[in-house]
């Protein structure tokens, strides 16, 4: 029986192990075929296309983007053209699809010097900018990817910008380096199929876990016209420079340029992270022609195979595909072979009512070579989004070299509606490399559960909305504001909270910053504020600054001078964090008071007078502790807390050294003792003197006033507070004012921080004896002792001393300002210490940003957001995302690169560039000269040695001088002028003075034109 039990147990374990193994195997298989989500894309293609939206407009409108050769690359535009193909070194074509701004680059943005930028292949530069834009368009801040397992897979085939450069590896490596990406960085050169192969490799890497995110794309820039010369010799170019895919009059290809980048991640990750999905890579395949009828000749059977393998990888049938973006270069050899392969795979056994639609974006933009595949993918993703397949241009009649009756395939000679047919819309893209590497990718529209549609608002949207912008330069910041103003003013812009959320969630923060604060219900007001920012105008709702301070943050809690009727009530109604924390403070106070803080704030019937000392101090304590919670909820954490007089009670609670219950005990019972035992027995006076001088003035009249005045607070270099008998204060105040010194009574009728307080000692020690201070979580610098406190020191005796002794505020601020603390936040309903702090900082030649929290009669979220913005624009870290509850990501403009022209012009001359074939002979000749070897030189020149000996020293010296001059010349910068292609006008900023003669006929038109383009005109 025992053996049977053992056998039964063994079989159970074996069965369980087998089931686990099967589950693991299934998981591995599923991971290997998991769909890959496309979550972002960017592109630049001919025709002024700089965004996917531009590309869609171009193809949907059926526009032709072919143009003349570029004029800014040093090409011999007059000498290169000849209409006869037989002419050696000539091109019979002078048109193509060009990026006329390929030389433009924002080098400073990426920390690249102008000299290095000029020497860097424009393909590297283009892919770098496009990668940044693709990540932004994916809803991710590029800086957030630094150190991540993100891969870069880049297709590139040209290496003609600098023959001495290391090659294509730098194209992918540059992106990884500048963005700090630590996944695979792979450059792919399979010629025209490079970018599709890059996508395939990226998808495989994601499925294998080599990376968690991938940038995949391609780039092509023709730095020289050699490709036109070469293919003119082969007669492979269309004379008019236009691709005519599958047309009966197709007569060759058209070379073009471009860059396109996709952001890819596993579909499961995209769903988990809430990333918007533009489309899905269902399957892909890559193969080679092998030993075919010519290495550069297309191979139909190989194309059939790669299509079938891609469908198999996707788990789909040919009939599941609606359209194919063909390689379609417009050649008389390649197009018929490709069409027959498509007919044999997709066209066979297909319902006549559901043809496979066939098109090629090359008819619009030419053949962008290593970037062609991404152009096709982008076109199909946009077609899925818009529900329409755009037309293919330049098709007179389908080519007669294809038997179109052999399958159900139709050319897209016009736009075709693309509606769902009971299943997801799907399409495929083909690309075939010159060397025989073929790629085919199957795409599917986004799943319905990836958050494409705007959700219904579950809660009311916020009233005040901040829009946070930044740039590497002030010009970039203004340019971004200009772009965003166009976005917020558009009908489809979306809710301002969604725009604000998208800006902070998907854009990196730079040095030059601005925050525009507006009402969510007033998009027009936000747009106007953005336009003011773009023009450099000051606005109340626009906060700007440079983030040049990155030190520690200090929370400052003042005494009772910051109170005002109705303070913080708007915040109480609008901020859940503030209301929650205030309720906790109110509960803590309820053990010691018979009134409620909220009743006092709202001026409720039956509430005690708001100016009664025990009411105002307790209420201010609760408000300040709650305001600190609001700052912390927005990501601003104090590195240090300090307090002025009773403000230290709130500081100790925020530091964690006192519980709320103990803080309530201290503030309630101590202020009650003041009201009962000190009220109407003294006063206080603020004077415009340093503490030492104020003490001297009080001492000068000691006999007269019998020591009844003392220094209560040292607030700054020219600010202190005196405390004592009211009569003595009034007399001294009149005297000081007569001398031109500021002297103003503080609106209290008791004398804190003076000998008057001694009468409270026994009562306070008794009432506060239960206080149990603890180790604080945030350091606190005492303004009583001027030293650091850890927490346990804050017992009853300390709180007596806090009321009795001088407030050493200025020395404490000075200690912090000179020890790396650069952000001072006065946490109060109205700033009363900010000027004193700023004066102390400036007197020490230190730097700091000093702000308040709320202001008198400005007690709501809008004022708090402005204070938060004032800190942020100077470098204080904060979390803006809490300002947009339940917001979603929407499209916002990408970073406005501030580009300059960089193009290396090869220098050549007889001194530095000997003619081909002459280098070896000249080297030997000059070596003989340098050695003064007359015999060898005579043999080389076939002359007598005696005739050469006299001139050798002079010839050698001349040679050395020329070499030195050439070396020095190579180190110099040269100024050269080149024609630049026209680009979009960036707009004007600032104030312009328009000076015109009286009654000038065009003065009004000039003023209007300046104003329209963003200038403020003064006449």
What CATH code is carried by the domain that includes residue 725? 3.30.70.250
Kindly state the DSSP code that residue 219 receives in the 8-state scheme: E
One domain for residues 800 and 764: yes
Last residue of a domain, one of 546, 579, 613: 546
pLDDT at 911 over 90: no
**CA pair distance 27, 36, nearest whole angstrom:** 16
One domain for residues 850 and 863: yes
Which of 104-118, 393-407, 449-463, 529-543 is predicted with the least confidence, judged by mean pLDDT?
A: 449-463
**DSSP of 99-117:** -TTTTEE-TGGGT--HHHH
What would the mean pLDDT of 425-448 be, rounded to a whole number? 96
pLDDT value for 915: 39
Kindly state whether residue 457 falls inside one of the protein's structural domains. Answer: no
Give the max Cα distance, the chain: 124
One domain for residues 211 and 275: yes
One domain for residues 830 and 929: no
Dihedral sign (CA 487, 490, 496, 498): negative
Kindly state whether residue 908 falls inside one of the protein's structural domains. Answer: no
**CA pair distance 475, 122, nearest whole angstrom:** 23
Kindly state whether residue 807 falls inside one of the protein's structural domains. Answer: yes
C-alpha distances out from residue 58 to 96, 364, 428, 461, 983, Å:
16, 8, 21, 37, 17
**CA pair distance 417, 779, nearest whole angstrom:** 66
Buried b (16+ CB within 10 A) or exposed e, 501-533: bbbbbbbbbbbbbbbbbbbbeebebbbbbbbbb
On whether the CB atoms of residues 470 and 481 are closer than 8 A, the answer is no
pLDDT band for position 974 (50/70/90)? Answer: low
pLDDT band for position 290 (50/70/90)? Answer: confident
Which tokens hold the place of 716? 């700054």
Q: What is the pLDDT of residues 48-88, one digit of tens each?
A: 999 999 999 999 999 999 999 999 999 999 999 999 988 89
Which tokens hold the place of 543? 């906060």
**CA pair distance 489, 531, nearest whole angstrom:** 11
One domain for residues 507 and 567: no
pLDDT value for 461: 57
The enclosing domain of 523 has a CATH number of: 3.30.70.3290
On whether the CB atoms of residues 470 and 511 are closer than 8 A, the answer is yes
Kindly state whether residue 899 falls inside one of the protein's structural domains. Answer: no
pLDDT at 195 over 90: yes
pLDDT value for 163: 66
The count of domains in the chain is 7
One domain for residues 275 and 237: yes
Name the strands in the sheet holding 719-724, side by side, starting at the edge strand that comes first in the sequence: 709-716, 719-724, 683-687, 743-746
**CA pair distance 364, 353, nearest whole angstrom:** 28
The percent helix, strand, coil of the chain (3-state, each to 5) is 40, 15, 40
**CA pair distance 484, 496, nearest whole angstrom:** 11
3-state secondary structure 852-920: CCCECCECCHHHHHHHHHHHHCCCCCCCHHHHCCCCCCCCCCCCCCCCEECCCCCCCCCCCCCCCCCHH
Q: Can you say whether residue 390 is alpha, beta or left, with left for phi > 0 and alpha for psi between -120 and 50 degrees? A: beta
On whether the CB atoms of residues 38 and 279 are closer than 8 A, the answer is yes
pLDDT value for 86: 85
pLDDT value for 941: 76
pLDDT band for position 453 (50/70/90)? Answer: very low
Kindly state whether residue 896 falls inside one of the protein's structural domains. Answer: no
> Would strands 780-781 and 512-519 be described as parallel, antiparallel, or unpaired?
unpaired
What global pTM score does this model have?
Answer: 0.84
Q: What is the pLDDT of residues 690-700, one digit of tens each?
A: 999 999 888 87
Kindly state whether residue 980 falls inside one of the protein's structural domains. Answer: no
One domain for residues 291 and 345: yes
One domain for residues 107 and 186: yes
pLDDT at 916 over 50: no
Which of 23-37, 599-613, 908-922, 934-948 is predicted with the least confidence, judged by mean pLDDT?
A: 908-922
Mean pLDDT of the chain: 91
On whether the CB atoms of residues 561 and 832 are closer than 8 A, the answer is yes
pLDDT at 944 over 90: no
Kindly state whether residue 713 falls inside one of the protein's structural domains. Answer: yes
pLDDT band for position 797 (50/70/90)? Answer: very high
pLDDT band for position 983 (50/70/90)? Answer: very low
pLDDT at 610 over 80: yes
One domain for residues 578 and 527: no
By C-alpha distance, which of 778, 813, 810, 783 is closest to 798? 783
With H, G, I as helix, E, B as strand and everything else as coil, classify residue 812: helix
Q: What is the pLDDT of residues 546-582, one digit of tens each?
A: 999 999 999 999 998 899 999 999 999 999 999 999 9
**CA pair distance 519, 497, nearest whole angstrom:** 10
On whether the CB atoms of residues 645 and 743 are closer than 8 A, the answer is no
By C-alpha distance, which of 570, 586, 619 is closest to 860? 570
Which tokens hold the place of 485? 């103003």
C-alpha distances out from residue 509 to 263, 823, 875, 964, Å:
21, 18, 10, 48
What would the mean pLDDT of 43-52 be, rounded to a whole number? 98
Q: What is the number of other CB atoms lying within 10 angstroms of the CB of residue 666?
A: 30
Cα angle at 214 between 263 and 312, to 5 degrees?
A: 90
Phi, psi of 849 (to 5 degrees): -105, 130
C-alpha distances out from residue 149 to 30, 146, 184, 264, 272, Å:
22, 9, 8, 13, 17
pLDDT value for 992: 81
By C-alpha distance, which of 258, 284, 283, 269 is closest to 379? 258
One domain for residues 764 and 841: yes
pLDDT at 28 over 60: no
C-alpha distances out from residue 815 to 60, 556, 818, 860, Å:
66, 14, 6, 33
pLDDT band for position 908 (50/70/90)? Answer: very low
Please name every residue paired with 38 in a beta bridge, in sequence order, or none if there are none: 264, 279
Last residue of a domain, one of 546, 574, 591: 546
Last residue of a domain, one of 852, 869, 886: 869
Kindly state whether residue 935 falls inside one of the protein's structural domains. Answer: yes
On whether the CB atoms of residues 378 and 41 are closer than 8 A, the answer is yes
**CA pair distance 514, 470, nearest whole angstrom:** 6
Which tokens hold the place of 629? 């919670």
One domain for residues 798 and 756: yes
The enclosing domain of 319 has a CATH number of: 3.40.47.10
What would the mean pLDDT of 366-372 be, rounded to a whole number? 98
For residue 526, give its domain range.
464-546
What would the mean pLDDT of 448-452 be, rounded to a whole number? 62
The proportion of the chain whose per-residue pLDDT surpasses 70, expressed as a percent, equals: 91
One domain for residues 474 and 580: no
The residue to which tokens 């039990």 are assigned? 5
Which of 321-330, 837-846, 926-935 is predicted with the least confidence, judged by mean pLDDT?
A: 926-935
The proportion of the chain whose per-residue pLDDT surpasses 90, expressed as a percent, equals: 77
**CA pair distance 372, 217, nearest whole angstrom:** 9
Q: What is the pLDDT of residues 878-903, one digit of tens each?
A: 999 999 999 999 999 999 999 999 99
pLDDT at 25 over 60: no
pLDDT band for position 167 (50/70/90)? Answer: confident
């Amino acid at each position: 029986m025992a053996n049977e039990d053992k056998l039964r147990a063994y079989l159970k374990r074996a069965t369980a192990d087998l089931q686990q193994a099967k589950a693991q195997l299934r998981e591995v298989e599923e991971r290997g075929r998991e769909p890959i989500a496309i979550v972002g894309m960017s592109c630049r293609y001919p025709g002024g296309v700089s965004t996917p939206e531009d590309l869609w407009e171009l193809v949907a409108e059926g526009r032709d983007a072919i143009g003349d050769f570029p004029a800014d690359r040093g090409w011999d535009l007059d000498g290169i053209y000849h209409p006869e193909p037989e002419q050696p070194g000539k091109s019979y074509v002078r048109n193509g699809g060009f990026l006329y701004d390929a030389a433009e680059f924002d080098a400073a943005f990426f920390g690249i010097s102008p000299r290095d930028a000029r020497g860097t292949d424009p393909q590297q530069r283009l892919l770098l900018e496009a990668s940044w834009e693709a990540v932004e368009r994916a809803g991710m801040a590029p800086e957030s990817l630094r150190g991540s397992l993100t891969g870069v897979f880049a297709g590139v085939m040209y290496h003609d910008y600098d023959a001495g450069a290391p090659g294509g590896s730098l194209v992918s490596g540059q992106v990884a380096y500048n963005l700090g990406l630590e996944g695979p960085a792979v450059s792919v050169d399979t010629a025209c199929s490079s970018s599709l192969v890059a996508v395939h490799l990226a998808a495989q890497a994601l499925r294998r876990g080599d990376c968690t995110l991938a940038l995949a794309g391609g780039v092509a820039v023709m730095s020289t016209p050699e490709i036109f010369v070469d293919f003119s010799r082969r007669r492979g170019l269309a004379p008019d420079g236009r691709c005519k895919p599958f047309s009966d009059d197709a007569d060759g290809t058209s070379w073009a340029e471009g860059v396109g980048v996709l952001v890819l991640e596993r579909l499961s990750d995209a769903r988990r992270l809430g990333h918007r999905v533009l489309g899905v890579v269902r399957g892909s395949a890559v193969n080679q022609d092998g030993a075919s009828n010519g290495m550069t000749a297309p191979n139909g059977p190989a194309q059939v195979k790669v299509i079938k393998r891609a469908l198999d990888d996707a788990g789909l049938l040919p009939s599941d595909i609606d359209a194919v973006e063909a390689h379609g270069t417009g050649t008389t050899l390649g197009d018929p072979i490709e069409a027959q392969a498509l007919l044999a795979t997709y066209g066979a056994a297909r319902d006549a009512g559901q043809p496979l639609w066939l098109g090629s974006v090359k008819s619009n933009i030419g053949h962008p070579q290593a970037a062609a595949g991404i152009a096709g993918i982008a076109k199909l993703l946009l077609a899925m989004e818009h529900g329409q397949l755009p037309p293919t241009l330049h098709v007179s009649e389908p080519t007669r070299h294809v038997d179109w009756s052999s399958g159900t395939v139709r050319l897209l000679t016009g736009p075709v509606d693309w509606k769902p047919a009971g299943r997801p819309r799907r399409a495929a893209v083909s690309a075939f490399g010159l060397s025989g590497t073929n790629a085919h990718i199957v795409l599917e529209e986004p799943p319905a559960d990836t958050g494409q549609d705007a959700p219904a608002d579950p809660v009311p949207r916020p009233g005040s909305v901040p829009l946070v912008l930044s740039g590497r330069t002030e010009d970039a910041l203004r340019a971004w504001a200009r772009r965003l103003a166009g976005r917020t003013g558009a009908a489809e812009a979306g809710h301002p909270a969604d725009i604000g959320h998208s800006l902070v969630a998907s854009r990196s923060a730079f040095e030059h910053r601005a925050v525009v604060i507006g009402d969510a219900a007033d998009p027009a007001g936000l747009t106007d504020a953005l336009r003011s920012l773009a023009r450099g105008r000051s606005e109340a709702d626009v906060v700007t600054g440079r983030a040049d301070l990155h030190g520690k943050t200090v929370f400052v809690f003042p005494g009772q001078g910051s109170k005002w009727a109705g303070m913080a009530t708007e915040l109480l109604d609008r901020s859940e964090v503030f209301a929650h924390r205030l309720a906790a403070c109110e509960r803590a106070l309820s053990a010691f008071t018979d009134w409620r803080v909220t009743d006092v704030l709202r001026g409720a019937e039956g509430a005690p007078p708001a100016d009664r000392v025990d009411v105002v101090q307790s209420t201010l304590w609760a408000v300040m502790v709650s305001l600190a919670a609001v700052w912390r909820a927005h990501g601003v954490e104090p590195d240090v807390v300090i307090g002025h007089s009773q403000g230290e009670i709130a500081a100790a609670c925020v530091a964690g050294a006192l519980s709320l219950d103990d803080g309530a005990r201290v503030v309630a019972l101590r202020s009650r003792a003041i009201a009962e035992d000190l009220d109407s027995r003294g006063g206080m006076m603020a004077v415009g003197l340093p503490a030492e001088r104020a003490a001297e003035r009080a001492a000068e009249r000691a006999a007269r006033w019998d020591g009844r005045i003392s220094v209560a607070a040292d607030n700054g270099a020219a600010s202190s507070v005196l405390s004592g008998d009211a009569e003595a204060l009034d007399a001294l105040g009149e005297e000081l004012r007569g001398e031109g010194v500021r002297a103003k009574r503080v609106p209290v009728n008791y004398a804190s921080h003076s000998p008057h307080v001694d009468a409270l000692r026994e009562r306070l020690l008794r009432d506060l004896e239960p206080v149990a201070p603890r180790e604080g979580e945030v350091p606190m610098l005492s303004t009583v002792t001027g030293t650091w406190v850890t927490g346990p020191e804050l017992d009853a005796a300390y709180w007596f001393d806090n009321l009795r002794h001088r407030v050493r505020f200025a020395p404490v601020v000075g200690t912090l300002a000179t020890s790396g603390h650069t952000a001072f936040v006065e946490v109060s309903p109205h700033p009363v210490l900010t000027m004193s702090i700023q004066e102390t900082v400036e007197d020490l030649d230190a730097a700091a940003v000093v702000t308040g929290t709320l202001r008198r009669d400005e007690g709501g979220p809008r004022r708090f957001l402005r204070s938060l913005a004032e800190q942020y624009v100077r470098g204080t870290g904060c979390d803006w995302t809490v300002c947009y509850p339940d917001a979603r990501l929407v499209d916002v403009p990408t970073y406005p690169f501030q580009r300059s022209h960089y193009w290396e012009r090869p220098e050549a001359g007889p001194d530095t560039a000997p003619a081909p074939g002459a280098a070896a002979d000249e080297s030997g000749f000059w070596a003989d000269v340098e050695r003064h070897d007359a015999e060898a030189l005579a043999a080389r020149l076939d002359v007598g040695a005696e005739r050469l000996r006299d001139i050798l020293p002079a010839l050698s010296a001349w040679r050395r001088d020329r070499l030195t001059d050439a070396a020095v010349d190579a180190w110099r910068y040269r100024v050269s002028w080149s024609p630049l292609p026209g680009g979009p006008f960036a707009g004007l900023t600032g104030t312009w003075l328009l000076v015109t003669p009286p009654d000038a006929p065009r003065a009004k038109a000039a003023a209007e034109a300046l104003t329209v383009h963003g200038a403020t005109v003064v006449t």
